[in-house]
Amino acid sequence: AVLNNVVYCWQDDADQLKLYKATATGWVLVPYYSEVSFTAGTAEYVDGDTITQGGNTATVKRAVKESGDWLAGTAAGRLIVDPVAGVLAAGAAAGDGACTLSGAPAQITCGPLSRVQTVVYNFTASTTTRRLYGCDGVNREFEFDGEVYVPLTTGMGSVRAVAVACHKNHLFYLYNGSLQHSGIGNPYAWTPLLGAGELGTGDIGTNLTTVSGSEASAALMVQCQDSTWVLYGTSAADWQFQRISEEGGAQPYSAQAFDGAPIAFDQENF
């Protein structure tokens, strides 16, 4: 994958999937940090903040708010942290913010035998927040900014996405016969209360492809083994999910877009 003119790659190594960055001196391993869940957040942590518990500390690499509100004291989610000095445990945490930790930080790991797919997208108005969003069919779906790897909690448990797309300011993942999207402008929000949603295909999903068009007509094509669907609209308030073929589908990983037109291999092509 390429992000901000830097090349990244994933490689199976024994029982792990490792992430590398291309540099002038060769491939350099990108470390996965640790994550810890929190609830009852009352004061927001931002990237670079320090979290403390007595004499124990950690640096916040990414604050992942998945639900609730900091001002209301109900923020919940995860903190990606590194390094950790001492031992953080379940209980109140302070520092540059305030919340209740659900336990100790755990090392982020990725298992092998996957096939990584990514898209580049920017969910903010800042020029510094272009990030990779991806899935690999084995590990948790993720966000990556070139340094911080953030596994996403989509609510699907052990079921992993087979395709990814960013469309109309939503993050989309395709799970078997289920197309799911994040809240508007928030790839960490996967609850309907924050605008997330789900659409069913009744067929095994294989590919997601953005179909070019005008501002009003750009759509998301959802290809399955034996059917093809198109999603029109801008959000859960006006989605129109239309099946355009009951026979023609696409093989996994085969879809590409050329000048806005999707091309893929169906079973009949073999």
Q: What is the DSSP letter of 208?
A: E
Report d(CA 135, CA 115) in Å as an integer.
8
Per-residue pLDDT of the chain (270 residues; tens, 9 = 90+): 999 999 999 999 889 999 999 999 999 999 999 999 999 999 999 999 999 999 999 999 999 999 999 999 999 999 999 999 999 999 999 999 999 999 999 999 999 999 999 999 999 999 999 999 999 999 999 999 999 999 999 999 999 999 999 999 999 999 989 999 999 999 999 999 889 999 999 999 999 998 875 556 789 999 999 999 999 999 999 999 999 988 888 888 888 877 767 788 887 644
**Cβ proximity of 70 and 28 under 8 Å:** no
What's the pLDDT score for residue 268?
Answer: 60
The Cα-based distances of 252 to 203, 205, 220, 266 in angstroms read: 13, 8, 16, 9
Q: Give the tens place of pLDDT for each residue, 130-182.
A: 999 999 999 999 999 999 999 999 999 999 999 999 999 999 999 989 999 99
Q: Which two tokens stand for residue 204?
A: 């095994």
**Cβ proximity of 30 and 20 under 8 Å:** yes
- The phi, psi pair for 183, rounded to 5°, reads -70, 165
Amino acid at site 35? E
What's the pLDDT score for residue 215?
Answer: 54
What's the pLDDT score for residue 256?
Answer: 82
What's the pLDDT score for residue 100?
Answer: 98
What's the pLDDT score for residue 270?
Answer: 46
Q: Give the tens place of pLDDT for each residue, 201-223.
A: 999 999 999 887 555 678 999 99
Query: Distance of alpha carbon 195 from its chain centroid, rounded?
Result: 16
